Amino acid sequence: MKIPYTLYSKNEHVKSKNEPHNLSEQSRYVLTFAQKTHHFQIPEMDLFSQQLNYKPFFVDLVEINVKKPTHIPFDIHDRQLFMFFMLKGSLLYTTSSKIPIIKIQANTFLMSYYDEGSYLAYAERGQHIALVLSIHPDWIESIDQEYYNVQQILQRFLNGKKSYETMGQCRMDRKIHRWLYKIYSYSQNNKGALDGNLRKYVSLLLEYYDSLLEDQDKDAAYRIKGFIEEHYCDVSLNVRQLAAHFFVTERTLLNIFKRTYHVSVQQFIADLRIGHALLLLDQGIGVKDVYMEVGYADERSFRSALERYQKRKK
């Protein structure tokens, strides 16, 4: 199984220090079966990554100690399917142009998939610890149990056209913590036993997550985000229309969305529209055709939004 992603791959000034000394003293968790360990150190933070690449799984236990808020760049090498468990702290995932994807809160987990490309993880001051599992899709397809919701995710991963998608973010209870402990604390030096242990507990995690996804449609922020992604090119799309569609007040809608995705509804819509517009402009399409295509009523409002976007990205 190929390594799914690389941290700081394009930054020549940030190098990994392989096999950090006294890892047990520097990290809260030690992945005893890790094949590789990395230590990235820059003025803003220390990052420890303990990795196992053992098909059909890639396991990465990441611990980040942040002195000053920072963006952590990483490159995904092929379209990948992940389970992500936030053990401590929180991380905001964005595109390379800093369009928000999801803010993963402390003590939550979710499934997601990402296309090949460059992304960022924004970490605020403090300690952040995550367990990342990349799962080979063939293994999920081979599982006998009927995980209806997980299979739906798999089909979108295999056949969908979206560059990325995040599923429902769920709270981790004692059961989840117990199963995760069985994974990262495993210490037997036997590949067959390690393989069986990973398959057992990842299966249990998938089954439990599948049951939690029954409530996915009740996740208002997720549904709002999906609706915006489907309709952002509609010139009539605005906060008032969204609030009416989801039967909430405008204030409630704005608060729900920002609390989950760490960005305002208005900025999220503008970023989608301008990101789309820039792709069209790169193809040589004229401004007058572009602004109507991506959801702006007139050229003046489009140019104003484009200017604000470019200022934020500087």
Beta bridge partners of 122: 71, 92
Candidate from 76-85, 92-101, 102-111, 255-264 with smallest mean pLDDT:
255-264
DSSP secondary structure string for all residues of 116-151: SEEEEEEE-SEEEEEEEEEE-HHHHHH-SS--HHHH
Say yes or no: do domains 5-215 and 220-313 share a fold.
Answer: no
Helix locations, 5-144, DSSP H:
23-26, 137-142
Q: Report whether pLDDT(12) > 60.
A: no
Instruction: Between 10 and 172, name the one with better pLDDT.
Output: 172
Q: Is the model's pLDDT at 72 over the cut of 70?
A: yes
Q: How far apart are CA 154 and CA 148, in angstroms?
A: 10
pLDDT at 252 over 80: yes
Whether 13 shows a pLDDT value over 70: the answer reads no
- The tally of CA atoms less than 13 A away on the side-chain side of residue 295 is 23
In the prediction, which pLDDT does 110 show?
Answer: 94
Answer yes or no: is pLDDT of 10 > 90.
no
Phi, psi of 293 (to 5 degrees): -65, -35
Distance in angstroms (rounded) separating the CA atoms of residues 275 and 24: 44
Q: Cis before residue 69, ω within 30 degrees of 0?
A: no
- Domains of the chain, by residue range, sit at 5-215, 220-313
What would the mean pLDDT of 232-249 be, rounded to a whole number? 91
Residue 268 confidence (pLDDT): 94
Q: Identify the CATH number of the domain defined by range 220-313.
A: 1.10.10.60
High-pLDDT (> 90) share of the chain, %: 59
Separation CA 106–CA 124 (nearest Å):
13
CATH 3.60.15.10 for domain 5-215, yes or no, is no
Above 70 in pLDDT, residue 22?
Answer: no
pLDDT at residue 91 is higher than 80: yes
- pLDDT of 26 above 90: no
What is the pLDDT confidence band of residue 2, given thresholds at 50, 70 and 90? Answer: confident
Q: Answer yes or no: are the C-beta atoms of 218 and 212 closer than 8 Å.
A: no
Is pLDDT of 93 > 60? yes
Mean pLDDT over all residues of the chain?
Answer: 88
Reported as a pLDDT band with limits 50, 70 and 90, residue 14 is low
Contacts of 180 (CB under 8 A, 6+ apart): 85, 87, 131, 172, 201, 205
Read off the pLDDT of residues 174-224 as tens digits, 9 standing for 90 and up.
Answer: 999 999 999 988 887 788 899 999 999 999 999 999 988 866 555 788 889
pLDDT digits (tens, 9 = 90+) for 58-69: 999 999 999 999
- Residue scoring higher pLDDT (294 or 213): 294
Q: Quick check: 23 pLDDT over 70?
A: no
At 247 the pLDDT is 79
pLDDT above 70 (res 264): yes
Q: How many CB atoms lie within 10 A of CB 109?
A: 24
- What percent of the chain stands above pLDDT 70? 92
60: helix, coil or strand? strand
pLDDT for res 29: 84
